[in-house]
């Protein structure tokens, strides 16, 4: 059995969801009440692979909202309590989604293995970052050519390059995709130098210098609301893959010739009979689309590979990306793309034939 540990995108959306689900006390509660509320296993559902294998899943709402991020003790407690509930519910592989993964890593919750009488078994949990990194790389490889961008001649900037997902993306793009030039962008200089040394390539630049030089931008860092992007200085065309959380790059980089793609999102081959997940998800096709990190928990259960597959910082290998990528395709997932560009490309090709 697999589990998805998630949360609403805002306090307002969480209260609205509670009202729709018939929890009036939560819908009317203030942030202090929500901060003390326990996690809830709110939905069970089944999923059938393209191979015919059927598995059972559960969605656990951590009852966390982004407005709690500054309440450090609350944020830690929310994630640990949700993990405890998943383990006590007998779930074999649970994915930490959204801020739950970020909180776990940034607040070093590996030191917090004991939750009341429960000793958390780390092998039951995954951040889902390996699948997310693989999906983002596939999105770059599949969508850049649709815009006329030849990756063998292209400059790709990775913003958040030293993070868990960012460093894996850099490995793949430099060693598997073979991009012409890789620009490495992150806040701390020493991890950037370490990454550059491990890759044997890549040019370290500040964000304001990297963006105007990039044909493709992979954004896998948190984006502050105060950040502004001078779209006039971006290359045209430019593919921008928004692999961060929350996904707000489209509001910062809207311009003719700049194509923003929601990174790390996959679509299943058929509808899934979940209801709460569909209500909570901010997806174009909520019955099929999901974060790649959530899909990783499904894939581990489909494969009966119940381990903490993505765990810790900068432990993702190309071999692990190969494995999870092959499983993703085998069981019926595909990375979402720039559909309008695909349709235009097909239409143009059709006109050319006639």
Residues 259 and 275 placed together within one structural domain of the fold: no
User: 318 in a domain, yes or no?
Assistant: yes
What's residue 111's pLDDT? 94
For residue 248, the model assigns a pLDDT of 87
Query: In which residue are the tokens 């309590």 written?
Result: 81
**Average pLDDT of the chain, as a whole number:** 93
Q: Which structural domain range is residue 121 located in?
A: 2-126+267-331
Q: Report the percent of the chain where pLDDT is more than 70.
A: 96
The whole-number average pLDDT for the span 241-253 is 90
348 — pLDDT class (breaks 50, 70, 90)? very low
Interior CA angle at 155 toward 149 and 203, to 5°?
A: 170
238 shares its domain with 307: no
209: in domain: yes
User: Which residues have CB under 8 Å from 279's CB, separation 6+?
Assistant: 17, 20, 21, 286
Residue 142 shares a structural domain with residue 90:
no
Residue 258 three-state SS = strand
- Whether omega before 21 lies within 30 degrees of 0, making that bond cis, reads no
Both 171 and 55 in a single domain? no
Does some domain include residue 111? yes
Q: Is the pLDDT of residue 347 over 60?
A: no
Burial of 15 (0-12, 13-18, 19+ CB in 10 A): buried
Q: Does residue 314 have a pLDDT over 50?
A: yes
pLDDT at residue 350 in the model: 41
Given a cut of 70, is residue 353 above it in pLDDT?
Answer: no
pTM here? Answer: 0.94
- Report the percent of the chain where pLDDT is more than 90: 87
Same domain, residue pair 108 and 215: no
- 143 and 220 both lie in a single domain: yes
| Number of domains composing the chain | 2
Burial (CB count within 10 angstroms: exposed 0-12, middle 13-18, buried 19+), residue 257 = exposed
CA distance 239 to 259: 5
3-state SS string for 54-103: EEEEEEEECCCCHHHCCCHHHHHHHHHHHHHHHHHCCCCEEEECCHHHHH
Q: What is the pLDDT of residue 246?
A: 82
Return the structure tokens found at 221. 């860092």
Integer-rounded Cα radius of gyration of the chain: 20
**Tell me, what's the pLDDT at 352?**
36
Whether 179 maps to a domain, the answer reads yes
43 within a domain of the structure (yes/no): yes
Residue-wise pLDDT tens digits, 20-35: 988 899 999 999 999 9
Q: Are residues 122 and 271 in the same domain?
A: yes
Give me the pLDDT at residue 313, please: 85
* Residue 247 vs residues 89, 160, 240, 313: alpha-carbon distances, Å: 31, 14, 12, 21
């Amino acid at each position: 059995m697999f589990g998805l540990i998630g949360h609403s995108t805002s306090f307002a959306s969480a209260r609205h969801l509670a009202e729709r689900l018939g929890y009036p006390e939560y819908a009317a509660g203030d942030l202090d009440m929500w901060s003390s509320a326990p996690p809830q296993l709110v939905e069970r559902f089944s999923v059938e692979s393209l191979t015919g294998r059927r598995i059972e899943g559960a969605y656990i709402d951590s009852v966390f909202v982004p407005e709690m991020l500054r309440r450090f003790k609350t944020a830690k407690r929310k994630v640990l309590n949700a993990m405890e509930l998943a383990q006590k519910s007998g779930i074999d592989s649970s994915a930490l989604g959204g801020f739950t993964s970020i909180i776990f890593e940034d607040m070093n919750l590996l030191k917090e293995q004991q939750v009341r009488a429960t000793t958390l078994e780390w092998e039951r949990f995954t951040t889902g970052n390996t699948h997310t990194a693989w999906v983002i790389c596939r999105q770059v490889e599949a969508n850049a050519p649709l815009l006329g961008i030849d990756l063998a001649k292209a400059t790709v900037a990775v913003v958040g390059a030293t993070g868990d997902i960012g460093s894996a993306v850099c490995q793949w793009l430099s060693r598997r995709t073979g991009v012409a030039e890789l620009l490495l962008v992150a806040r701390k200089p020493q991890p950037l130098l370490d990454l550059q040394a491990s890759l044997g390539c890549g040019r370290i630049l500040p964000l304001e210098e990297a963006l105007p030089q990039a044909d493709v931008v992979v954004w896998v860092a948190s984006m502050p609301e105060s950040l502004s992007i001078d779209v006039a200085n971006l290359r045209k065309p430019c593919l921008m893959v928004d692999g961060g959380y929350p996904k707000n790059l489209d509001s910062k980089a809207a311009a003719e010739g700049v194509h923003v793609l929601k990174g790390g999102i996959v679509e299943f081959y058929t509808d899934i009979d979940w209801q709460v997940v569909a209500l909570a998800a901010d997806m174009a096709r909520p019955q099929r689309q999901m974060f790649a990190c959530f899909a990783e928990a499904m894939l581990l259960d489909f494969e009966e590979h119940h381990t903490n597959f993505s765990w810790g910082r900068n432990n993702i290998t190309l071999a692990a990306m190969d494995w999870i990528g092959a499983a993703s395709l085998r069981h019926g997932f595909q990375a979402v793309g720039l559909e309008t560009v695909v349709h235009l490309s097909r239409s143009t090709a059709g006109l050319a034939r006639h």
